[in-house]
Structure formats: C-alpha cells, structure tokens
Structure 1
C-alpha cells in the first residue's frame, strides 16, 4: 500500500494566518465590549465558520446573530488578504513539487470565499483536484468530516491518503479520519501532545514535506 493523494490544510500550512485570525477576531470582539474566553483561540482553530461565529455570539457574548458575526469577520479577513497574503516560505513550491507526483486536495476551515481568494492570489487555483471548506460538511475539525468527504470525492480510501496539518484540531481531524498525518507544528500555536501523537511524521517546515518523505509514510 502506498500514498496516492495528499490533502492539505490551508491556514498554518500554506499561509501563515493564525495570528491574523486571532488579531482580527480579538479586535472585533473588543469592539463590542467583550473579551475572548481563556480557551477561545484554541477552540476556534479548526472550527467551521458557523461554529466559530456561534462561539463568538453565544459564548463570548458579541450581541449579534452568528451569521452577522461571520459576515463581519470574514469581510475583515478578506480585506487583510487583499492588502498582503502571508504565504509561508516555500509552501507554493512544495505544493507544486508534490502535485507532480501525487493527486492533491485541500481541506480547510476557512470560508469558501477566503479559500478561493487565497488560491487565486497564490497562483494555486489549478494545483488542487478538489478543495473543501468545513462550511460544506456537517462538522468542522476536530471531527473527521471534511477529510472523509475529501477522500470520498477523490474516490479513494483514507489508507492511501496523507494529510498535512498544523493545529491540534486539524491533526485530530485527519487522524480520526484514518489518513497518514504529517504535522507541521506552528511556532506560535503548537499543537497539544495528544494531537501531535496522531502524526506519522513531524517536520519543522512545510518544505520538508517532500515526495520521498510522503512515500515513506506507508
């Protein structure tokens, strides 16, 4: 058995946006006279748009419906991306190199509009056979839904697919879906030990995810 396809996460793997997400959401919450809960940032990493906007509205206390919270925050994120897209060094080249050998998909917690904008700006629209947002499945990460759907739509099984993830919830999602997991831990938001234990391979940078490294997973 060997790997036939690789499913990439987006935030924290191709673009370094976890700090941008935190900055934008904290400022938005503060603008409504509220503060993050102690575990808000960790919990929201990997959540779908519906899930994190509901958290901000119903648990953090932003006095607006979740749908409005999502619209506002996504608009601010899109504006930041237009100003400057924080690509992780070597990520585009890594995707292209792996795409020459493997089928590629993308499974992201970002909203569809942000995924499409990022890939267009980065010149990666044609790199992925399939792109999915957790908006398009029942549950966001750490549930396995988005990875299971990606694998199914590729017409494959989890055993012949690898995932490239950085966050605790992303690693848990890919691991519980049964993919071979490659962890690229974020320096500012390192994954929890139990999540990192899901990984078959841990690398220091996405550029270390090479064709040979993926071939050795199974």
Structure 2
C-alpha cells in the first residue's frame, strides 16, 4: 500500500495524455476516409472525436459513408496506428518521469484507455520497466468513457477506493468518466481545450509534478467534497428546524 501522504493509485489515460498518438490517429482517419472517397474531417468533427471509444468512432465513420463493418473499421485503424507506434513513440513531457517516481514510491499505476488491448499492450511493451500494474482497455469493458466503468474497474482490480485515486486525462470525455467514478482529476490539454471546471487541476504539462503533489490533490478534493456534503446537510436541515418552531 502507498504511504498515507500519496494517492493509493494513479489511473492514466493513454492517447494524448502519456503518449502523443493523436497524430497517428489523424493519419489513420485520413487514410480510411480517402480510401472510401470521403473528405477529411472538419475541425469540429475532429474535436468531437477526442476521447471517443473505438466502437463510437467506428459507428461515426460508418455514418459518414465508410463502407466497412464496424469491426473492419477498428481493424483498419488499429493496424495503421500500430505501425506508427512500433516505428516511433513520443511520450508527453513529464509522463515517464512521473510514472517512474510513482512506481519507485510504491504507488500503482493503471493504464485506462478507450483504445483496444492490442494498442495498449504495444505502448506498454516499449517500456524497459513494467510501470503499469494493470491495463483496462476499451474493448474489454461494456461501457467506455465517458461512462465511469473503466475507472471503477481499475480501482476495483487494484483494491483501492476511487476517491483515493488520481486520474490523468487529456479529454473532456475522459475527465467526465473519472469524476463520475469519484477520482481526483488532472487535465492535460492536448487538441481539446480544458477549462478549470473540467478537472480538479488543469496544467499544460506533467513536468515538475511529484507523487506528493498528487497526494495533496487527493486530500484537497476530499476536503472540498466533505464541505459540500456538510453544506447540503445544513441546507436540508434548515427547513425542518423552521417547521419545528412553528
């Protein structure tokens, strides 16, 4: 178990959060659409795709006119992205340092992604040290993000309370899932603007962030949650007290 001043676990999104694979997905999308005589996605469509599950993405491309079964669309995208990952994988600034520091401190890391298991395993296989205790992949859950199931499942497999975990995400969908699960959240914008209300902490990069800072974030969120609950309890009790005095 992690020391009390640290989070019990850190749950990491993959694409755009710890590795810069968004460019690979864009290339795969362009190739898929071009192969079927379709124009590139608009900027609005691309932003709407950020954080989507593979199932949702395949249905989206089918609606655009890609004449393939959803499973074939997933296979096409996976093969293109896989080739790019194996050729060159760029980690986002500070991600490897923080992963390593957490691992050294005894805090388990979980990879929680809407991507398929084969792609998640490809990313994990590039690490010299096994920094992830578990992997929750998008094709292994009934409900992908923004549903909280992936994060709830990760916490359950690690044997920790979601409220004692920090989730690190780059998309609004992912942050919605993590907050619904009860996690403290860090947003690292990448291709999609994140505002303060989307995460408990929004920062441009993970550089300089320590395990202790994540522990402080968990405690801060717990205090804020308790304060809100106490305020709601007091507000609910006030009318009852007024009625009792009548």
| TM-score between both structures, scaled by the size of structure 2 | 0.80
Computing the radius of gyration from Cα coordinates, the structure with the larger value is 2
Deviations 1:41-93 (A, max 9, x none): 23332222222112211x21101111111111110111111221122233222
Q: Which residue of 2 aligns with 1:212?
A: 212
CA contact (8 A) 1:111 1:135 kept: yes
User: Take 2:132 and 2:13, find their aligned partners in 1: how far apart are those partners?
Assistant: 12
Give per-residue Cα distances to partners, 1:3-57, cap 9 Å, x unaligned. Answer: 2111011111211111221222122112211233664323332222222112211
Which of 55, 62, 68 is equivalent to 1:64? 68
The runs of at least 4 consecutive aligned structure 1 residues that moved more than 6 Å come to none
The match for 2:192 is 190
CA separation in 2, counterparts of 1:165 and 1:200? Answer: 11
- Mapping of 1:1-218 within 5 angstroms? 3-35=7-39, 36=41, 39-57=44-62, 59-101=63-105, 102-124=107-129, 126-186=130-190, 189-193=191-195, 196-217=196-217, 218=219
Structure 1: where are the runs of 5+ without partners?
A: none
Quickly say closer, same or farther: Cα 1:86–1:174, change in 2 above 3 A: same
User: How far did residue 211 of structure 1 move?
Assistant: 1.3
Taking a change above 3 Å as real, the CA distance of residues 88 and 18 of structure 1, as seen in their structure-2 partners, is same
Q: CA deviation at 1:131?
A: 0.7
**Range with greater deviation from structure 2 (162-171 or 86-95):** 86-95
- Give distance in 2, aligned partners of 1:172 and 1:164: 12
Q: Deviations over 1:75-124 (max 9, x none)?
A: 01111112211222332222011222212111011111111111111335
Aligned counterparts of 1:62 and 1:147: Cα–Cα separation in 2 = 31
Aligned partners of 2:91, 2:143: CA distance in 1, in Å? 27
**Structure 2: unaligned runs, 5 residues or longer:** 220-246
